[in-house]
């Protein structure tokens, strides 16, 4: 029996495993890098071991350090979570070699599925349908997909629509795969434009393979999953049965033990599916299966690892149909309006409502720091209901009511997806987000900037040290209103600047179109057309007269983040025209140009890596590279000047 378990992972998945361990009476051990020292999972564990450093290569990917941590903490078992070393057969062997229980499949099973190239051969031999890769690609084979053989999560993956671009895309995929997985092997296969990702949850036991239904994971960006659900919508009973049979055959072909997932690409037009890969670990999206089957997959993993008998006819493990429908949304620290650029910083507020059967699996809380070293996922929010439509409505409501401040997220896009008519009709595919320019923000609430301006004025009033009796904004002769100017968060429905004109005086605040019913530094109640609404306002480092702070407003129209525009700008804060600024904190992995070199608009200037993804910074216009201020390996902050491109006329290069 396992008595003390070390989770060789971090954040959300560590907290998730700890939760089951507490219920079962198993002690827990957390490991953490320096960047993760203050995250909640560290406090949740019974024992904690620090891994000095911040990068994955120095910490969570160091098998020797992880095993040493387990021995020092007195653990007798290791759970790998997902990502990092979770599908590393050598790590599994090393864990067993020192007498620890490995909570996962055998190293041999992992090796067979560890290479996607080899996995396809094994599946074909087992009678599972696979996509055949072209040996000599031609124009007729386009589009193609370049994939990392050893990885997942969208890293090392590129869609190719021109044979001329194939070599470049292969090289970029290889570099990204090498950085993320330590293995740059890639392969090419046909790309199905509007296919669906449907995966089968399996549990291998000594008595055979149990199939726990299927999930649809088609809604993706950058080949990474965003929304997952169980059961998969719109499948016929025959297709569903065939998928389950293929998943069982795949697991049986490698004598699989424990929880795993067999992923398939499904073409709805042809009602055909092909094997994609097998994930020999727990999946990020496992909660939707748990909620419709009434099982705890981590508990089942532990049972198999302990050698306990798993009863195939136990509730949830038999062939009964799933109960209701569950949908999971991945909340990422990223900006959909800026090409899904990862975001980092402090979460000044992070509160997601869990009423009505909503589950939140997260590794963060209010005050947590989101670093640039790891994956951008903040949380998984899951809703379960009797029907798919009810689950979508419940999940959209929970996300819309969440208070998330300090870091830009994909929350508003998730809400838009869950309320989209095509999504609700079950018309999902991997092309869904790319083909629908869904609003990346909720409908703009005109009351939000008004509430922000009034709250700022109230803060100014309360901070006075003199003239307490004079109303805010009062003027003896009213010649013009007071003005508070905001820059909206990029990607909202009202980009650019918003100016709120308001009057102060003994009779309170006056704003055209609104009645200010109640005013305070943290909450403002407005009335328009006889309808009242209260806005919660959180201010970070801003004043009524300006500053560099932000104002977060939560109201009936959702969340609005505004930035106070100072009335006067210090010339020292200006940057040279043509400056290319770092879009996010990260590491420079390649500089593609030299000072004095001519570039055309769209040419790559340098490549940044953040949260294990590579991002190309391109020349915005044709000109001459006047400055290169960084070199490969340099750590840069968001907004830092990386290079300067001057146009032929010496004008602005932006």
Q: Is residue 476 part of a domain?
A: yes
Show the domain range for 613.
575-646
Q: Are residues 400 and 465 in the same domain?
A: no
Given pLDDT bands bounded at 50, 70 and 90, which one contains residue 569? Answer: low
Q: Are residues 517 and 601 in the same domain?
A: no
The answer to whether 292 and 326 are in contact (CB under 8 A) is: yes
What is the rounded average pLDDT of the residues 40-54? 98
Average pLDDT for the chain: 89
Q: Are residues 516 and 624 in the same domain?
A: no
Q: Is residue 619 part of a domain?
A: yes
Q: Are residues 177 and 231 in the same domain?
A: no
Given pLDDT bands bounded at 50, 70 and 90, which one contains residue 603? Answer: confident
Q: Are residues 391 and 329 in the same domain?
A: yes
270 or 650: which leads in pLDDT? 270
Q: Are residues 380 and 257 in the same domain?
A: yes
What is the rounded average pLDDT of the residues 620-648? 85
Q: Given 533, 564, 595, which residue is the final one in a domain?
A: 564
Sign of CA dihedral 85, 90, 96, 98: negative
What is the rounded average pLDDT of the residues 553-558? 91
Number of domains in the chain: 5
CA-based nearest residue to 247, from 219, 278, 218, 216: 278
Q: Given 405, 435, 465, which residue is the final one in a domain?
A: 435
Is the predicted pLDDT of residue 473 greater than 90, yes or no? no
**Distance in angstroms (rounded) separating the CA atoms of residues 552 and 356:** 26
Q: Are residues 166 and 286 in the same domain?
A: no
Q: Is residue 138 part of a domain?
A: no
The pLDDT, as a whole number, for residue 441 is 47
Q: Are residues 482 and 422 in the same domain?
A: no
The answer to whether 187 and 272 are in contact (CB under 8 A) is: no
Q: Are residues 222 and 354 in the same domain?
A: yes
The answer to whether 230 and 215 are in contact (CB under 8 A) is: yes
Is the predicted pLDDT of residue 327 greater than 70, yes or no? yes
Edge-first strand listing for the sheet containing 325-332: 272-279, 258-267, 196-205, 208-221, 224-230, 325-332, 377-385, 358-362
Given pLDDT bands bounded at 50, 70 and 90, which one contains residue 494? Answer: very low
The answer to whether 31 and 39 are in contact (CB under 8 A) is: no
Is the predicted pLDDT of residue 476 greater than 90, yes or no? no
Q: Are residues 365 and 265 in the same domain?
A: yes
The pLDDT, as a whole number, for residue 439 is 57
233-252: burial string, b at 16+ Cβ within 10 Å, e else:
bebeeebbebbbebbbbbbe
The answer to whether 145 and 189 are in contact (CB under 8 A) is: yes
111 or 491: which leads in pLDDT? 111
pLDDT digits (tens, 9 = 90+) for 393-425: 999 999 999 999 999 999 999 999 999 999 999
pLDDT digits (tens, 9 = 90+) for 66-93: 999 999 999 999 999 999 999 999 999 9
The pLDDT, as a whole number, for residue 622 is 87
What is the rounded average pLDDT of the residues 144-152? 79
């Amino acid at each position: 029996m396992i008595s003390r378990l070390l989770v060789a992972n971090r954040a959300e998945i560590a907290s998730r495993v700890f939760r089951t361990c507490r219920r079962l009476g198993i002690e827990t051990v957390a490991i953490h890098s320096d960047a993760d020292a203050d995250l909640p999972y560290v406090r949740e564990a019974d024992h904690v071991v620090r891994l000095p450093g911040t990068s994955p290569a120095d910490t969570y990917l160091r098998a020797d350090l992880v095993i040493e941590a387990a021995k020092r903490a007195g653990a007798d078992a290791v759970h790998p979570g997902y990502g990092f070393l979770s599908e590393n057969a050598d790590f599994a062997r090393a864990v067993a070699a020192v007498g620890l229980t490995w909570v996962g499949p055998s190293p041999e099973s992992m090796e067979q599925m560890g290479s996607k190239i080899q996995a396809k051969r094994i599946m074909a031999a087992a009678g599972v349908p696979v996509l055949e890769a072209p040996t000599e690609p031609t124009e007729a084979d386009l589009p193609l997909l370049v994939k990392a053989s050893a990885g997942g999560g969208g890293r090392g993956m590129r869609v190719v629509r021109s044979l001329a671009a194939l070599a470049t895309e292969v090289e970029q995929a290889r570099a990204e795969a090498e950085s993320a997985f330590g293995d740059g092997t890639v392969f090419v296969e046909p790309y199905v434009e509007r296919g669906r990702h449907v995966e089968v949850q399996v549990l291998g036991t000594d008595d055979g393979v149990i199939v726990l239904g299927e999930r649809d994971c088609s809604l993706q960006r950058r080949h990474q999953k965003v929304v997952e659900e169980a059961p998969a919508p719109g499948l016929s009973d025959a297709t569903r049965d065939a998928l389950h049979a293929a998943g069982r055959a795949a697991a049986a072909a490698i004598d699989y033990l424990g929880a795993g997932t067999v992923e398939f690409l499904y073409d709805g037009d042809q009602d055909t599916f092909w094997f994609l890969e097998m994930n020999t670990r727990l999946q990020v999206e496992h909660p939707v299966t748990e909620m419709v089957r009434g099982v705890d997959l981590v508990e089942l993993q532990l049972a198999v690892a302990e050698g306990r008998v798993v009863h195939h006819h136990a509730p949830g493990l038999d062939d009964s149909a799933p109960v209701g429908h569950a949908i999971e949304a991945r909340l990422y620290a990223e900006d959909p309006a800026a090409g899904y650029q990862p975001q980092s910083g402090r979460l000044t507020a992070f509160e997601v409502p869990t009423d009505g059967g909503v589950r939140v699996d997260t590794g963060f809380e209010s005050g947590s720091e989101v670093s640039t070293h790891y994956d951008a996922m903040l949380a998984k929010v899951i809703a379960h209901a009797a029907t798919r439509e009810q689950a979508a409505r419940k999940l959209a409501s929970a996300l819309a009511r969440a208070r998330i401040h300090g870091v830009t997220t994909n929350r508003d896009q998730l809400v838009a997806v869950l309320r989209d008519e095509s999504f609700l009709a079950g018309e999902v595919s991997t092309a869904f987000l790319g083909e629908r320019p869904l609003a990346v923000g909720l409908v703009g609430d005109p009351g939000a900037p008004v509430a922000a301006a009034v709250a700022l004025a109230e803060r100014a009033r309360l901070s006075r040290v003199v003239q307490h009796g004079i109303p805010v904004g009062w003027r003896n002769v009213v010649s013009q209103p007071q003005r508070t100017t905001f820059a909206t968060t990029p990607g909202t429905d009202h980009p650019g600047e918003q100016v709120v004109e308001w009057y102060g005086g003994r009779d309170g605040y006056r704003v055209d179109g609104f009645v200010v019913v109640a005013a305070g530094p943290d909450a403002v109640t407005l009335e328009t057309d006889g309808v009242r609404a209260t806005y919660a306002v959180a201010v970070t480092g801003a004043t009524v007269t300006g500053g560099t702070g932000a104002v977060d407003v939560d109201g009936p129209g959702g969340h609005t983040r505004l930035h106070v525009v100072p009335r006067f700008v210090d010339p020292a804060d200006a940057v040279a025209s043509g400056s290319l600024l770092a879009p996010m904190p990260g590491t420079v992995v390649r500089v593609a140009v030299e000072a004095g070199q001519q570039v055309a608009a769209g040419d790559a200037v340098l490549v940044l890596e953040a949260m294990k993804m590579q991002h190309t910074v391109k020349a915005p216009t044709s000109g001459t590279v006047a400055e290169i201020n960084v070199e490969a390996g340099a750590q840069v902050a968001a907004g830092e000047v990386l290079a300067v491109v001057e146009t032929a006329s010496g004008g602005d290069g932006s």
